[in-house]
Structure 1
């Protein structure tokens, strides 16, 4: 009973930190919340739309381009985030501040369930709670209606699932999460147990790759298209010449983007505080995974971390105002893994 009480109290630390930050720093409460920028407004309205009328409502597009799937009228990030939060918000009514209360509730539930999965000692549970409650990108995004609050919760569960005996829990988690954001499919790599030979490992990695591609295709079917997205910008870069010139143009385009992003990542003076915390924790996780005696599961988590970082550097604008949001959700799970390693290894339940 004592560990359970510790888990219940520790799980409340991050939501409590968020609520107290608003009360003490802004001298107000969540009832005063009103979405003020475009993405926050869009997500807030989509969640409240689903809470009110389900899939029957909504017309959320960019450039009047609806999703290929006819059952959904939601935006470029797909229908499942508004659907999940809309269902949770429905009993309480479609209030403007409702989505951020759902964020806090989901974070609490995810942390508590993660602790129950990992079954750490009381000290380990406290260490995990401190890591989560001082990860400011998560705390900041709990106070907005955007997806990141959910992704942090998924990351907490993913970190616990990576060190659980049964891989079915993590598999179900990442398969479901990939419908909200396809890159979560890569999290399945963290569930690969140490294989007996190279061929079996290759088969498992190949399976993850195929599922990742399938998740991306499914997401493109249920999400509204984005004009001038990654594909369109790449097409502009390659031009209309022959295959050789197109290949060269594509290489130059992504090479320049990767160089600009890598320069930003390697320039601490340009980091915003939230980006800096993410990148520093990522570096710590990678260094721990490179140790000779590092746990296999930690190395698999670090592999996902490196893969996510590569995707951001090659395809994204890491130094844009969106940077810490993109970096944060994809790295939080591997960055919290060292806490789980120390906690789980001491646990008599593991």
Structure 2
């Protein structure tokens, strides 16, 4: 039995065979009813249904792109009805690690300890967090483990895995051009703190805004002062706009090898943050293959005061092209940034905690 919402969502499905189109709708209805279960469990142990699902996925006509395409078409329709759309993007590890024999075609995720694929989707939400759907997604497999940082620095961005952040940011700009009646806000985490991504704003349409969580304590400059000052020091010298109390949820440590403070475990609690905001000019970094120009951005810094001993303080350094003149404008930036965590919630519940090979067991 095909669900009504599946018929509507996959209206534009066309994989070149009507029987495959119908089978895709049937399998999606079956698996959507119990998304965390394996394929046989979703089929309630039915041999025919399980076999049909495996045959569908093994068909050469069925690929990542054409399965996702009708959903993307439906997402664009929903986006066109919105005054504001928050476009969040992030990279998720699809863990296919098996206890003994590894899945054929899976690549390394962190050295040779875990294996799988990497997925970088651009997902649209309303300002209240309602998902509109996926607008694009890149899926790839590493051929080898991550290279050393000093080696990666010498490569042009076009040869780095981090190119996905720039390409997805530009795709969001193109969406804004295609839908001028909708304000598009692209939101990304600290991995997107890449100067080429920040600098890409120079070609943005008027209805395109962006927010990127800062990762680096970048150098800032002023016209009347040849000496640079680091971003955090500059913001700390500015006035506190206001303080607010926010509720933060506890989190578990994702990977034992991850020593970054922002990824350490945390208890749920109420915390008080000081909020600062101002416009700054970022000094362009050196690139061995090109010359970049200094660029001006707005920055919102929310930093926790009096954090409990032994816990990591809340610290959000948000780079943006949105205005920061008033408290209301700053609050809007903070609220839009929080929508990005909807993607991480999905990753934590599915891709990050459940090895995907179990879904086919």
Q: TM-score, normalised by structure 1?
A: 0.32
Kindly name which structure, 1 or 2, has the bigger radius of gyration based on alpha carbons.
2
More strand by share: 2
TM-score normalised by length of structure 2? 0.31
Could you say which structure has the higher helix fraction?
Answer: 1
Higher relative contact order (CA 8 A, sep 6+): 1
